[in-house]
C-alpha cells in the first residue's frame, strides 16, 4: 500500500465501518422502539382519537377488501395509518405466536384463530366479521370442461388445491369429503392466491378457491358454484392482539371492520356477512 | 461526516495485515457480524425439540421429502455437470464476441431472486409457456408439478455455482498442456478428456458439491415452478415452510437436518478442495 492512497482507503474503510455500526445500532434501537412503545396512539380508548400506525395481519383472501376498508378507515381517522401483512392465516398465526409486533389479526378460519387464542396472544374474544365459501376456479374458456365437483376426479385433469395446513385447503378437504369425491391434486399450494395463480396461468384445469378470490381475479378466471360448498363455510374472525403496540388504533380498526360500511365492502367482494 | 480530527494515522507496522493487535474498530463489527450470522443457527439448536427428535425424524412426510430432496439435488447436479462443464470450458477457452455478456448471463441466477427464476421457468416451460405449450402439444409433456420440474428448477438456480467453479479452475490450469497434446496429434475432444478434465477435477468436484448443496436448499423456484405435492415435488425446504404453518417443532427438526447436511458439505469442501485450488 502506498502512503496517500493507503490513508484515503483507510479513512474510507473507517467511514464505512462507522456507517455500518451506526446502521446496526439504529436498526436495533428502532426495533426496540416499536416494541417498547405501547399506546403510541395516545390515551383515548374511544378510537376517535387514535393515531399512529396499526399493523394488521390478515388472511391472503382479504387482500383486496381490506385494502379498500383501510382506505375508508384512514379517511375517517386522519392520523392513523394501516399497514398490512397478508399471507396464509396459519403462517400469520405462527408469526403472532412467535411474537411478531402486530396489532390486529384477521384469520380465514376459526381453527387458525384458535392457535392465537390458545397461546393467550389475543385480547378478548375474536368476532366473526365475514364468511366465505368455495368455488371451482377454471381458466377462461374452461378447457377441462369442468361442471361439478365430481369432475375434478376425472383422470388427466390437473387440479390445484391449497395445502391442508392452510384454511382454504382445510375447507377444500371438507367439501370434497362431503361430496365423496377423491381428487389427486397436481399440487398443494401454500396459500389461496398461489393456488389461483396456477389457474390464471393455465397450468391447472381447475382449483378450489374462495368465491371472493375468483371475483377479485376479475375476468381472468371463471368460477363454478357447487352445492357441497355449503358444507365448508369458513368463518373469518378478527381480534385485537394482547401485545398490540397500538391498542387504541387496533380497537378502532376492528370496530370499523365490524361496521356497516365495511360490511358493504366485504359483501361486494363476495363475502357473506353475519 | 467523519473527520480525522485528533487522530493520527496508524504507525506503519500496524498496517501489516497480520499484526498482533486487532484494532477495535475492526474487531467490534467483525464480532457483531459473526454473531449475526451464527446466532440464528444457534437458536435453532437451542429451541430444537431434542426429546422428540427421533420419532419426528421418522415421520413419513419427512423421509419422503428428504428422499426426494436428495434425489432431485443429485439429478440437478448431474444435469449441471453435463451442461455446465462444457459451458464453463467455452467461457474459459474460446474467445467469442459477447463473451462477457454471456458470462454475466450465466451468473444471473446467482443474484436473481429464485421466485423470479420460477416465474420465468413457468412462463417458458409451463403448459402454456413459450416452449412448454409446444412440448405439451407434441409429446404431452408438462414439467410443472412433476419431479422433473423440480430438477429443472434446482438446476436453473444451482448450475451457475458449478460453472463459476469450473471456469475458475480452467483459467488456473495451464492451456499449454492441451496445446502440447494437440501438437502430438490428439483431437480437441481427446485433449479435453485426457488432459483438461484430470487437471481441473478438483475444481469440478468442488463446483459439483456446491451445486448439490444449493439445489438441496432450493425453495423459491421450486415452489413457484414445480408446485408442492408430497412425494412428487415437495422437497425439504417446502416441507419446512408448510410445517411452520401448523407445527413449528417439526419445522425446526427439518431445518436441523438441512443445517447438518449443509455444514457437513461446506466443512468437507473447505478441507478437501478450497485450499488446494
| Model confidence pLDDT, tens digit, residues B218-268 | 999 999 999 899 889 999 999 888 887 777 788 888 888 888 888 888 887
A54 strand-pairing partners: A82
SS (H, E, C) A77-133: CCCEEEEEEEECHHHHHHHHHCCCCCCEEECCCHHHHHHHHHCCCEEEEEEEEEEEC
Residue-wise burial string across B101-133, b where 16 or more C-beta atoms lie within 10 A, e elsewhere: eebeebeebeebebeebbbbbbeebbbebeebe
Q: Does residue A89 have a known ligand-binding role?
A: yes
Average pLDDT estimate for B204-227: 92
Nearest CA in chain A to B9: A7
Give residue A17's pLDDT.
54
Give residue B140's pLDDT.
85
Give residue A135's pLDDT.
95
Question: For A141, which DSSP code?
Answer: T
Q: Does residue A37 have a known ligand-binding role?
A: no
> What are the structural domains of chain A?
52-130+235-269 (3.40.190.10), 134-231 (3.40.190.120)
Q: Which of A234, A59, A208, A236 is nearest to A135 (CA)?
A: A208
Give residue B54's pLDDT.
84
Residue ranges of chain B whose CB lies within 8 Å of a chain A CB: 2, 4, 9-10, 15, 25-26, 28-29, 32, 122-123, 126-128, 142, 144-145, 223, 227-230, 233-234, 241-246, 248
Q: Which of B76, B213, B211, B97 is nearest to B147 (CA)?
A: B76
Give residue A5's pLDDT.
46
The reply to whether residue A190 touches residue B29, judged by beta carbons under 8 angstroms, is no
**Stated pTM of the model:** 0.74
Higher pLDDT, B110 or B248: B110
CA angle A214, A218, A220 (to 5 degrees): 85
Average pLDDT estimate for B129-137: 91
Give residue A196's pLDDT.
93
Q: Please report the sign of the dihedral spanned by the C-alpha atoms of residue A196, residue A200, residue A203, residue A205.
A: positive
ipTM value for the complex? 0.70
Give residue A29's pLDDT.
44
Using 70 as the pLDDT threshold, list the residues of chain A that sit under it: 1-49
CB-nearest to A188 from B25, B128, B228 is: B228
B38-57 pLDDT per residue, tens: 999 998 888 888 888 888 88
SS (H, E, C) chain B: CCCCCCCCCCCHHHHCCCCCCCCHHHHHHHHHHHHHHHHHHHHHHHHCCHHHHHHHHCCHHHHHHHHHHHHHHHHHHHHHHHHHHHHHHHHHHCCCCCHHHHHHHHHHHHHCCHHHHHHHHHHHHCCCCCCHHHHHHHHCCCCCCCHHHHHHHHHHHHHHHHHHHHHHHHHHCCHHHHHHHHHCCCCHHHHHHHHHHHHHHHHHHHHHHHHHHHHHCCCHHHHHHHCCCCCCCCCHHHHHHHHHHHCHHHHHHHHHHHHHHHHHHHHHHHHHHHCCC
CA angle B75, B125, B61 (to 5 degrees): 50
Measured between CA atoms, how close is A162 to chain B, in angstroms? 10
**B210 φ, ψ (degrees, to nearest 5):** -60, -45
Mean pLDDT score across all residues of chain B: 86
d(CA A36, CA A117): 22
d(CA A257, CA A76): 13
CB-nearest to A15 from B2, B243, B244 is: B2
d(CA A175, CA A159): 15
pLDDT tops 70 at residue B7? no
pLDDT tops 50 at residue B25? yes
Amino acid at each position: 500500500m502506498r502512503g496517500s492512497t493507503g490513508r484515503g482507503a483507510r479513512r474510507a474503510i473507517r467511514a464505512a465501518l462507522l456507517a455500518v455500526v451506526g446502521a446496526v445500532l439504529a436498526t436495533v434501537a428502532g426495533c426496540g422502539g416499536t416494541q417498547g412503545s405501547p399506546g403510541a396512539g395516545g390515551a383515548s380508548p374511544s378510537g376517535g382519537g387514535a393515531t399512529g400506525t396499526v399493523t394488521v395481519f390478515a388472511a391472503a383472501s382479504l387482500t383486496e377488501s381490506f385494502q379498500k376498508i383501510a382506505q375508508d378507515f384512514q379517511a375517517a381517522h386522519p392520523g392513523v395509518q394501516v399497514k398490512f401483512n397478508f399471507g396464509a392465516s396459519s403462517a400469520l398465526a405462527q408469526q403472532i405466536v412467535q411474537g411478531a409486533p402486530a396489532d390486529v389479526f384477521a384469520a380465514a378460519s376459526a381453527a387458525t384463530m384458535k392457535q392465537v387464542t390458545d397461546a393467550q396472544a389475543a385480547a378478548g374474544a375474536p368476532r366473526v366479521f365475514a364468511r366465505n365459501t368455495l368455488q371451482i376456479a377454471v381458466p377462461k374458456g374452461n378447457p377441462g370442461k369442468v361442471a361439478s365437483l365430481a369432475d375434478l376426479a376425472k383422470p388427466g385433469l390437473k387440479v390445484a388445491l391449497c395445502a391442508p395446513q392452510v384454511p382454504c385447503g382445510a375447507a377444500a378437504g371438507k367439501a370434497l369429503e362431503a361430496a365423496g369425491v377423491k381428487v389427486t391434486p397436481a399440487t398443494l399450494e401454500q396459500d389461496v392466491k398461489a393456488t389461483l395463480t396456477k389457474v390464471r396461468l393455465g397450468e391447472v384445469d381447475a382449483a378450489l378457491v374462495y368465491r371472493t378470490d375468483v371475483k377479485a381475479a376479475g375476468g381472468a378466471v371463471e368460477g363454478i358454484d357447487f352445492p357441497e360448498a355449503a358444507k365448508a363455510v369458513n368463518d373469518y374472525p378478527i381480534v385485537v392482539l394482547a401485545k398490540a403496540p397500538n391498542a387504541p388504533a387496533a380497537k378502532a380498526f376492528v370496530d370499523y371492520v365490524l361496521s356497516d360500511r365495511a360490511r358493504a365492502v366485504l359483501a361486494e367482494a363476495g363475502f357473506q356477512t353475519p | 461526516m467523519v473527520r480525522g480530527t485528533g487522530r493520527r494515522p496508524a504507525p506503519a507496522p500496524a498496517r501489516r495485515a497480520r499484526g498482533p493487535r486487532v484494532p477495535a474498530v475492526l474487531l467490534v463489527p467483525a464480532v457483531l457480524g459473526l454473531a449475526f450470522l451464527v446466532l440464528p443457527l444457534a437458536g435453532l439448536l437451542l429451541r430444537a425439540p431434542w426429546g422428540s427428535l427421533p420419532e419426528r425424524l421418522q415421520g413419513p412426510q419427512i423421509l419422503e421429502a428428504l428422499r426426494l430432496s436428495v434425489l432431485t439435488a443429485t439429478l440437478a447436479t448431474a444435469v449441471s455437470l453435463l451442461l455446465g462443464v462444457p459451458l464453463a470450458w467455452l467461457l474459459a477457452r474460446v474467445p467469442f464476441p459477447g463473451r462477457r455478456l454471456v458470462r454475466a448471463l450465466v451468473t444471473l441466477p446467482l443474484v436473481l431472486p429464485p421466485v423470479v427464476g420460477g416465474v420465468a421457468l413457468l412462463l417458458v416451460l409451463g403448459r402454456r409457456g413459450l416452449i412448454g405449450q409446444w412440448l405439451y402439444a407434441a409429446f404431452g409433456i408438462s414439467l410443472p408439478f412433476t419431479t422433473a420440474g423440480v430438477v429443472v428448477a434446482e438446476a436453473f438456480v444451482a448450475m451457475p455455482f458449478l460453472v463459476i467453479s469450473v471456469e475458475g479452475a480452467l483459467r488456473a490450469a495451464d492451456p499449454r498442456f492441451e496445446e502440447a497434446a494437440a501438437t502430438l496429434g490428439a483431437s480437441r475432444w481427446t485433449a479435453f478428456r485426457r488432459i483438461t478434465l484430470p487437471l481441473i477435477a478438483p475444481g469440478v468436484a468442488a463446483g459439483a458439491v456446491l451445486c448439490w448443496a444449493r439445489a438441496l436448499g432450493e425453495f423459491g423456484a421450486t415452489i413457484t415452478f414445480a408446485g408442492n405435492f408430497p412425494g412428487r415435488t415437495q422437497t425439504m425446504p417446502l416441507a419446512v415452510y408448510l410445517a411452520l404453518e401448523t407445527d413449528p417443532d417439526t419445522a425446526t427438526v427439518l431445518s436441523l437436518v438441512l443445517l447438518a447436511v449443509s455444514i457437513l458439505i461446506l466443512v468437507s469442501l473447505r478441507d478437501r478442495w478450497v485450499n488446494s485450488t
